[in-house]
Structure formats: structure tokens, C-alpha cells
């Protein structure tokens, strides 16, 4: 049966991959100096083009706050590079591992080695950070890298391709096109590791495609990350911090607080303080440069549908104006929205929101938030607000999530000494700092036998010696 013809783009993609793949099997692994040089060039690629990246991302969104791009993207990437460069010599060193007594005086070591070719499928919501932070880990670990940016940010993608091509040889790191056939073919390449950041639905497809090659994957997905406001919480403080976490990047953040669980008696007070905080931070004018646009008309319409469904099912909608207001809609700026009295039957409680909508659900008993969370997929993030340490620890003990920030939102993501990753439907695997280096490396166990070890006594013919050795091994095990 004839094989279907491949497009020129698919052929170019496969040729580029095989060129990288062949080098990982024939060339020696890059030295510390070579890896540091690659990290330095990546730092220069970001630093030298910071304003160009800001402009490209803003143009792709319709409007993107430059401050948000600086804080949530550029600074995080530069911080990852600095941390990796500073720590790389230590990370690359063979790791000492204990040796069982019966094997003395032998020794064990773990030798970090590059996996080979790492593929990165990047999302649109934080295109610079969620593309290059995994690339930092991959380069630090000595891999060669292929990046497939998102088709929803074409200006950024074209600029990234230009900038990387100017700083890196095509045998080190390349950025592919964003055409449909490239997107479909990318995950099917036999990478040595594949990193995908995006929706759970697409993550399943990526994992399925990678699984045909037994390619290990790191999936950074999403889901409905809850914010629990305990009875011991300062309501005003929790409201302000949740409002910020929800409206950063207009809610287009995989670890944004998706919904809030609040003591029933405090729901109205909390909703009012959230709205006041939102207006204090972002005002009521769609021309506010600090407030980011929704990335596409399709995404805007989806958010409108979620609000309409919640209203039709009895929720109270708190907005400064309707999302259909031409002053807002023409700029694709969705007015910050609070949905009071959300119920599980509403669409807004059944899918990840990914926008500036905050549903609030009331609870009566302290056990209700945990029970509700545990009935659903494990979230990428969980946020807890309060002063009662016993109540806090009970929630931490009884829930499983990708990560947690206590008495704030988002900031666990920025910790370079902690792993970032999901669990179950919110993802698999982790990266950041040394965790990323280890994920992108093969930590190869090596046993160094000593000439003084009596392991040869295990060889046949066994005879009486084996009984004595077996007795000794049992004693030492």
C-alpha cells in the first residue's frame, strides 16, 4: 500500500530531527564549558530582544501588559538561566550513592548523561517563559533541542525562530514552523524526551502519539485549581491575593485560582472585597494598559458562554459591564467577572476557565472543600488561606495537587529549588532548577567492583562454599 505523500514542511521537520538525532549518537556529550556557552547565548537571545518579545507578544494578544511579560516571563527565564549556570558544575558531577555492606569495598555512582534530542511543544499563554524555561533545563543537561511554538502567537513564534537561529547552530537548537502539518507531526517524532504544556485534552493526544515511540513525556497541563478560604482567614487579604492571581494575564494562566471555596456566611463579603480589589488594581477602563486582552475571538466567545450559562442557572454575576460592551469586546478585553453562587452543574465548574472569571462556592462544614476537591481530577495548583495551622495541615494532608501556595497564589511556581509539575489529569513529570536537569538527563547507575570483593565466590561450581557465603549474605542483608 502506498504511503501518503508528506508535505515539504514535514520532510524538513524530519530531516532536522534526524540530523540532531544522529549527532546525539555519534558526537561526545557537550562539556561543562560548551553547556555554559549555550546558556550564555540563550541569555543574550532573551536580553538583547526583550522589547521585541514584549511587542510581539502584545501584538499576538491584541494587548499584553508589558509589566506582566517582564515579571512573569522574561525575569523568570533569565533567573532560570542564571541558576542553571551557577549550579551546573555541581549538577553534572557524578552523584555518590551508598553501597550495601555485602558489596564492600565496591562503590556506586550515578552519572548524569544527556538523553539526546528533547522536543518542546509550547503554549500560547506565556509563550516566552513556557518555551525557554524547559529549554534551559534541556540545554543544561547537554541535550539538543527542537521547539514547536504555538500557532496562536505567530508574531512571537516568528521572532523566536529568528532569534534562536541567530544565536544557535541548527545542530544545537532549532525552532520549527507552526503550520498544521508541523503540529500534527511533531509529537510523533521519536524524541528522547518530549515536553508539552497545554490543555489536558491535547495532552492526552500528545501522550498517545509519544507512546507509540515509547518517548517519555513531561506534561504540564491544567485543570481547576481551587482556592480555599478557611474560617481563620483574613477575608480582605485573601480577596486581594486571589483577585491578583485570577487577573494576571487576564486569567490565562494554567495555575490561576480557578474557583474559590468560602465559608457560606462570608461569601457576600468576600465577593465584594474581590470586586473592590479587582477595580483597585485594574480599574474599570478597557484602555487600562495593565489589563491584558483575551488571545482570540474564539476564546472570548467561550468565556461569554460560561457566564451566560451560569446566569441562566441562577448565579449572580458581578461585572463592571457586560462582555458584549463594544468598548471592551473590540479590544478583546473581558471584564473581570465574579460568579456568586456557582454550582457543580454549571459549565463554569466543569471545565478549566482560563479567563478572568471567578466562581465562588460557599461551604458550611470544614470538611466540605476537601470532599469537593477529591471528587474531581487532581488540580495543578491549590491555594489555602488562613491562620489555623491545624486546618491548613489537614487540607495539605488530605488533598493531592501539583503544587501549593499558602496564603497567596501562583508563587510556588517561581521557586527554582522546588519542582513544578502536575499529577494525574493535571500533568506528569516535573522541571525547574535541578529537577529539570535530572528530568532531561539519564542518571545512569554505575557499580564499580573492587578487586578485594569476594563476588567470585558466587560462581559455579557451588559446592560447600556457597552455603557459607549464603549464610553471610543473609546476615548482612
Active site residues: 220, 254
CA 163 remoteness from chain centre: 23
Residue 122's SS3 state is coil
Q: Could you tell me which of 400, 356, 352 has the C-alpha nearest to residue 200?
A: 352
Q: What is the DSSP letter of 63?
A: -
Residue 10's SS3 state is helix
Largest CA distance in the chain: 92
DSSP lists the bridge partners of residue 199 as none
Retrieve residue 66's grid coordinates.
508589558
Retrieve residue 421's grid coordinates.
509539575
Question: Residues 114, 441: contact at Cβ < 8 Å?
Answer: yes
Residue 174's SS3 state is strand
Q: Is 59 left (phi over 0), alpha (psi -120 to 50) or beta?
A: alpha
Contacts of residue 242, defined as CB under 8 A and 6 or more positions apart, other chains included, come to 227, 229, 257, 260, 274, 358, 383, 385, 409
Amino acid at each position: 500500500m502506498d504511503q501518503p505523500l508528506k508535505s515539504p514542511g514535514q520532510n524538513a521537520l524530519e530531516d532536522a530531527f534526524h540530523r540532531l538525532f544522529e549527532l546525539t549518537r555519534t558526537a561526545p556529550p557537550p562539556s561543562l564549558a560548551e553547556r555554559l556557552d549555550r546558556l550564555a547565548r540563550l541569555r543574550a537571545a532573551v536580553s538583547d530582544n526583550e522589547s521585541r518579545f514584549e511587542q510581539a507578544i502584545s501584538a499576538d494578544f491584541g494587548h499584553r501588559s508589558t509589566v506582566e511579560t517582564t515579571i512573569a516571563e522574561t525575569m523568570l527565564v533569565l533567573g532560570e538561566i542564571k541558576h542553571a549556570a551557577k549550579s551546573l558544575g555541581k549538577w553534572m558531577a557524578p552523584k555518590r550513592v551508598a553501597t550495601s555492606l555485602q558489596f564492600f569495598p565496591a562503590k556506586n555512582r550515578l552519572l548524569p548523561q544527556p538523553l539526546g534530542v528533547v522536543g518542546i511543544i509550547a503554549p500560547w499563554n506565556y509563550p516566552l517563559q513556557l518555551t525557554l524555561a524547559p529549554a534551559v533545563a534541556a540545554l543544561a543537561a547537554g541535550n539538543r533541542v527542537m521547539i514547536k511554538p504555538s500557532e496562536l502567537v505567530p508574531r512571537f513564534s516568528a521572532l523566536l525562530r529568528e532569534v534562536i537561529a541567530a544565536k544557535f547552530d541548527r545542530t544545537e537548537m532549532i525552532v520549527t514552523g507552526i503550520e498544521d502539518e508541523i503540529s500534527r507531526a511533531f509529537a510523533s517524532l521519536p524524541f528522547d524526551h518530549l515536553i508539552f504544556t497545554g490543555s489536558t485534552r491535547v495532552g492526552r493526544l500528545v501522550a498517545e502519539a509519544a507512546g507509540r515511540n515509547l518517548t517519555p513525556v513531561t506534561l504540564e497541563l491544567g485543570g481547576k485549581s481551587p482556592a480555599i478560604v478557611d474560617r481563620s482567614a483574613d477575608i480582605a487579604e485573601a480577596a486581594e491575593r486571589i483577585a491578583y492571581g485570577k487577573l494576571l494575564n487576564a486569567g490565562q494562566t494554567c495555575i490561576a485560582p480557578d474557583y474559590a471555596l468560602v465559608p457560606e456566611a462570608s461569601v457576600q463579603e468576600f465577593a465584594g472585597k474581590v470586586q473592590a480589589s479587582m477595580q483597585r488594581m485594574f480599574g474599570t477602563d478597557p484602555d487600562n494598559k495593565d489589563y491584558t486582552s483575551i488571545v482570540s475571538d474564539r476564546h472570548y466567545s467561550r468565556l461569554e458562554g460560561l457566564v451566560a450559562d451560569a446566569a441562566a442557572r441562577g448565579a449572580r454575576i458581578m461585572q463592571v459591564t457586560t462582555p458584549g460592551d463594544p468598548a471592551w469586546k473590540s479590544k478583546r478585553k473581558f471584564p473581570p467577572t465574579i460568579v456568586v453562587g456557582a454550582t457543580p452543574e454549571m459549565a463554569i465548574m466543569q471545565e478549566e476557565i482560563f479567563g478572568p472569571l471567578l466562581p465562588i462556592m460557599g461551604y458550611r462544614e470544614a470538611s466540605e472543600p476537601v470532599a469537593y476537591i477529591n471528587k474531581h481530577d487532581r488540580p495543578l495548583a491549590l491555594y489555602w488561606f488562613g491562620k489555623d495551622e491545624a486546618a491548613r495541615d489537614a487540607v495539605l494532608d488530605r488533598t493531592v495537587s501539583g503544587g501549593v501556595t499558602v496564603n497567596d497564589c501562583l508563587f510556588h511556581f517561581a521557586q527554582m529549588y522546588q519542582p513544578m509539575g502536575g499529577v494525574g489529569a493535571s500533568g506528569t513529570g516535573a522541571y525547574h532548577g535541578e529537577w529539570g536537569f535530572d528530568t532531561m538527563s539519564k542518571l545512569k547507575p554505575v557499580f564499580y567492583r573492587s578487586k578485594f570483593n569476594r563476588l567470585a565466590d558466587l560462581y559455579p561450581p557451588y559446592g560447600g562454599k556457597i552455603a557459607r557465603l549464603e549464610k553471610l549474605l543473609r546476615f548482612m542483608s
